[in-house]
Amino acid sequence: MDITDVRIGVTLISFVAFIAIMAWACSGRNKSDFDEASGLPFRDE
């Protein structure tokens, strides 16, 4: 196993993590949480 194999592995793991984060962020289950968080800067407390 040389450095090229390690780089390929890290790239694949990073890509899978990116896809997982995108799927989580775009899921409908989180819409209400994100809608609430999007209004936080405009709250006057």
11 is a domain residue: yes
Domain count across the chain: 1
**Angle at Cα 32 formed by Cα 29 and Cα 23, nearest 5°?**
35
- Condensed to tens digits (0 to 9), the pLDDT of residues 7-32 reads 999 999 999 999 999 998 888 888 88
Q: Which spans in 1-45 are helix H?
A: 3-26, 31-38
| pLDDT higher than 70, residue 45 | no
Domain boundaries, position 30: 1-36
27 is a domain residue: yes
Q: Note the pLDDT of residue 11.
A: 98
12 is a domain residue: yes
